[in-house]
């Protein structure tokens, strides 16, 4: 590996680690919401309905393929709503309940693939 390639690889690793640290540092604000606030989500639920019922959009984290709307609940746990960016209707793919550390507690909703 040439010196230039080594430097580019190191730069890539540093940028990747910085991106992960930035995402991890962003914590959604604590709210009065509970896990039951998200129990209405089903196959026909739109993001607009979620935003209307919860009163907020949560913290938005985006990648090329998915967007995550993160909510910090009143008990300190999180709910994440994962949406496919390739779906123009922004249908909800997965809703998970997890500890603030990222450990999964339960899957609240998962879209069934046809």
Look up the CATH number of the domain holding residue 96: 3.10.450
- Does residue 103 form part of some domain? yes
- Does residue 6 form part of some domain? no
- Does residue 14 form part of some domain? no
Per-residue pLDDT reduced to its tens digit, 4-48 = 655 555 545 444 444 444 445 456 677 789 999 999 999 889 888
- Does residue 18 form part of some domain? no
- Does residue 24 form part of some domain? no
Token pair of 38 as six digits: 């998200």
- Domains in the chain: how many in total? 1
Single pTM value for the model: 0.70
- Does residue 42 form part of some domain? yes
Question: Are 50 and 41 in contact, with CB atoms under 8 Å apart?
Answer: yes
pLDDT over 80 (residue 64): no
CA atoms 55, 68, 105, 17: torsion sign: negative
- Does residue 16 form part of some domain? no
- Does residue 81 form part of some domain? yes
Q: Which domain holds residue 47?
A: 29-110
DSSP annotation string for 15-30? HHHHHHHHHHH--PPB
Question: Are 82 and 94 in contact, with CB atoms under 8 Å apart?
Answer: yes
Per-residue pLDDT reduced to its tens digit, 44-63 = 898 889 999 988 878 888 77
């Amino acid at each position: 590996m040439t010196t230039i390639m080594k430097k580019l690889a190191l730069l890539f690793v540093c940028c990747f680690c910085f991106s992960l640290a930035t995402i991890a540092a962003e914590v959604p604000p604590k709210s009065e919401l509970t896990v039951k606030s998200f129990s209405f989500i089903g196959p026909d639920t739109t993001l607009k309905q979620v935003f209307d019922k919860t009163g907020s959009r949560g913290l938005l984290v985006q990648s090329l393929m998915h967007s995550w709307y993160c909510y910090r609940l009143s008990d300190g746990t999180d709910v994440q709503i994962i949406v496919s960016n390739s779906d123009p209707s922004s249908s909800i793919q997965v809703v998970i309940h997890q500890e603030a550390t990222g450990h999964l507690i339960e899957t609240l909703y998962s879209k069934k693939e046809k």
